[in-house]
Structure 1
Amino acid sequence: MHFRSSDQGASLVEAALVMPILIMLVFGVVEFGRAYNAQISLTHAAREAIREYAISQNTADAEDVAENSAPTLDSTLMNFNFGPCNPGAPAQVTIGYPFTYEIPLFGNNTVDLTGIGVMRCGG
């Protein structure tokens, strides 16, 4: 019996040492998932924006379409950069977005994400 209680104490110490690492790992996975979701939403918004821009050649309409196609992102933080749209030539839109981690595990908790869309302009 004496050895059994000492084994239980050792298990408790091991759990106390491993638990912070596991908690950091879980939080890291969750935050990476949030950042990946934001990147996918931003890429989708850029694709929708360039589709609208290639047809209408109106940047305001393209920005509205992009903001509506990414409802999980704060549209006031999106930075749009439209290239020229000449008939038959490819046009490009770049959307920048500063993503902020909710749980700052390391120093800087803001990462700049970029979504790029390219499509041939209509005539």
Structure 2
Amino acid sequence: MSRRRNERGAAAVEFALIIPVLVLLVLGIMEFSRLYNQQISLSNAARAASRVMAISNDSGAAVTAAIQAAPSLNPGLGAGNIAFSPGTCTSGAVMSVTVSYQSTLMTGAFGATLNLTGEAATPCGG
């Protein structure tokens, strides 16, 4: 009986020591999952813009397609986030689109922001 009495607070102390590690692990999983989702959205936006440019060679329509392909980004994409290389699509060339986004992290435990980019390339002419 006296042995149990000596170990009364041991579980509480062990829990207090391990809880910061567990909280940091859960926050890391949440941040990674959110950033991975945003990265997939950026890749889809770049792919949509690249496809529109390769088919119609209309940068305005390509920007609209990119914005519509990534509705989950908040704040959303704008024309300044999307870069085309080369500027126009000629037959036989390859249209490369880069979509950049500055993500604000939820917890701030790993920094305030992180820059993400999505890239895609499509041969011009359909």
Q: What TM-score results when the alignment is normalised by the length of structure 2?
A: 0.90
Question: 74, 77, 84: which one pairs with 1:75?
Answer: 77
- Partner residue, 1:92: 96
Deviation (angstroms), 1:86: 1.5
Query: Kindly, what percent of the aligned residue pairs are identical?
Result: 43
The unaligned stretches of length 5 or more in structure 2 are none
For 2:95 and 2:67, the matched residues in 1 are separated by: 19
Deviation string for 1:86-117 (max 9, x for gaps)? Answer: 211111010100011010113x3211100001
Deviation (angstroms), 1:5: 3.2
Larger displacement relative to structure 2 (28-37 or 4-13): 4-13
Stretches of 4+ aligned residues off by more than 3 angstroms: none
How many corresponding residue pairs? 122
How do 1:10-21 residues align onto structure 2 when only pairs under 5 Å count?
Answer: 10-21=10-21
Q: Given that residues 78 and 97 in structure 1 are in contact (C-alpha distance below 8 angstroms), is that contact kept between their aligned partners in structure 2?
A: no
- Partner residue, 2:123: 120
For 2:63 and 2:79, the matched residues in 1 are separated by: 12
Deviation (angstroms), 1:4: 1.4
For 2:68 and 2:99, the matched residues in 1 are separated by: 14
Considering only aligned residues, what root-mean-square deviation do their CA atoms show, in Å? 1.6
The answer to whether 1:110 aligns with 2:96 is: no
Secondary structure of 1:112's match?
Answer: strand
- Partner residue, 1:58: 58
For 1:10 and 1:77, the matched residues in 2 are separated by: 58
Secondary structure of 1:75's match?
Answer: coil
For 1:52 and 1:40, the matched residues in 2 are separated by: 19
For 2:94 and 2:23, the matched residues in 1 are separated by: 47
Relative distance call for 1:89 and 1:57 in structure 2 (3 A) is same
Q: What TM-score results when the alignment is normalised by the length of structure 1?
A: 0.92
Deviation string for 1:49-83 (max 9, x for gaps)? Answer: 10011011111100111111111012248611101
Deviation (angstroms), 1:46: 0.4
